[in-house]
Structure formats: C-alpha cells, structure tokens
Amino acid sequence: MLITAGPTYERIDPVRFIGNFSSGKMGFALAQAFEQMGATVTLVAGPVAQKTPEGNINRINVESAREMETQVKKCFPQTNILVMSAAVADFAPNEPQKDKIKKKDDFQTLSLKKTTDILSMAGKMKKPGQTLVGFALETANELENAREKLHEKKLDMIVLNSLNDPGAGFGTDTNKVTLITQNRMENWPLKTKVELAQDMAHFIVDKLILEPI
C-alpha cells in the first residue's frame, strides 16, 4: 500500500506558504485500516500533527508538492494499491523569497506556477495489476467533476466529498462520501473517518481487486 495524506505547503518565503486546511485524518485512518488488514503500508504525509498509527507503517514526511511527487514516483512502481488522499496544492510561488518579505517591501503581486498533477502522473505510470484511487473535494458540479477526473486520470475509483455537506471536508472527525468506479456509484452516509476508512479499505480490496467492477 502507498497512501498520501495531508496538505502540501508551497513556500512564499521562510515564514509564509500557500496551503490548505487538510488535517490528514482521512489518510492516516486509511493507513491504519489497511495495516490492520495485513498490508505493508508506506504513508507519505504532508505537514500535519497526526501521530503515525501503530503497526507496519513506514511514514515519509514531506512538505511540498515537489517532494510528494518525488516519493510517489519512487514508491509507486513497487506498490499494489495507491490511495491519493492528500490535498496537494495546485500552485506554488514562481520565485520563493530567501528572506522574509517585510511590510515595507514593494511586494504587490505573487507570481504562481502549476505544480505537477501527481494523480495524473500516477495514472500514466500505472501498470496492469496496480490499483489507483483518487479523492475529489468539490464545491460545485460535484459528480460531473469527479467523473471527469476518474476518466481523465485513469483511476480505478474516485472518492467524492463535498464541502457543502455538514460534517464533511477538512478538519472534521467525520466524512460523507460518494464512491465512483468505472461502472458503479455508491453514496455512503456520514461516518467517522475511522469507520469510513475501514469500510473503504474493504471495498477497495473486495470490489476493485478480488471482484473487479
């Protein structure tokens, strides 16, 4: 198993960054669930405060999208299942400043560049026998956007969650998701992320690997 979790931070200067509100709770719960099923887990974690679950889990800490890209590229070829639950920043500063930007400095605009689409990269790397699962956090046109992502990035499954659902999204202990495969869609009710991770791990193994749908 290879699981990515948490946000990435893209440095503006030594004290500021572009990031998001991801806590990493879902990814860490998935790491624990798969380990309890007997998997050897590599967990690539962005900057989060979560403790590594006990068991056969190798945690690799990263900060930026570039660092996460490097680890996924390195680990994915030896992996049976990759679950990309990390909320990777889409943009990074074009020229991070070496020194702290002061208020008095004449700094009015921030030039950005796109980061590598790690999920799309993994889809292009995927070989027969490997399973690739992505996550989509949407605020509008949720199903349409998720299905487009599923097909364009050559995923076996995408997990859709919406910030419009109470109790779902960043920082919460619960989540409400829709699982979408190439031929199937299941709406799951609000659950704790621990419960959701356990159910999702069994679904991935039972339905995507042992009984492809």
Rounded CA gap, 47 and 119, in Å? 19
Helix (H) or strand (E) holding 144: helix 142-152
Q: Are 110 and 40 in contact (CB under 8 A)?
A: no
**Where do we find the tokens 């409400």?**
176
Rounded CA gap, 161 and 164, in Å? 9
Question: Of 20, 56, 80, 145, which is the active-site residue?
Answer: 20
Active site residue 20: yes
- Amino acid at the residue 23: S
Q: Are 88 and 72 in contact (CB under 8 A)?
A: no
Q: Is 145 helix (H, G, I), strand (E, B) or coil?
A: helix
Give the number of residues written for the chain.
213
Q: Annotated active-site positions, please?
A: 20
